[in-house]
Structure 1
């Protein structure tokens, strides 16, 4: 029988049992709660940033449409002037 393998198995079982106790302790639960709260705060901040970004993109789109409408109106005015000159 190989005593090294038995020792490794026993050490692993002991370490696993201690690990489970540590992970389910009150201190660990406090840590999990604090981490979850931090993630929720981060989520709220990301959502605020995304909303601001969407609003800014909407403003940019509206301004771009307005610019294009003005250019189209200017082009129409130029075409009308050109047509009047040719008619004379």
Structure 2
């Protein structure tokens, strides 16, 4: 199931993934600055942590996409999405 989902999202992950990871990284750093300077509440820190975690996971997925496909491939049958 996850393998087919990753194969289906291949164009999105390869084209928009690095840019989205960079935007999440910038948003996370900005939220940390906002939490330090303006609002010392927990919600800003949680949002900053979520943005940084999302950026890291998305960057990891984009960097090692083929490795994830290899690890999550179906072992019993061959799934080749050819149109």
The TM tier, using the shorter chain, reads 0.3 to 0.5
TM-score normalized with structure 2 length: 0.35
Structure number with the bigger relative contact order (C-alpha 8 A, sep ≥ 6) is 2
The structure with more radius of gyration: 1
TM-score normalized with structure 1 length: 0.33
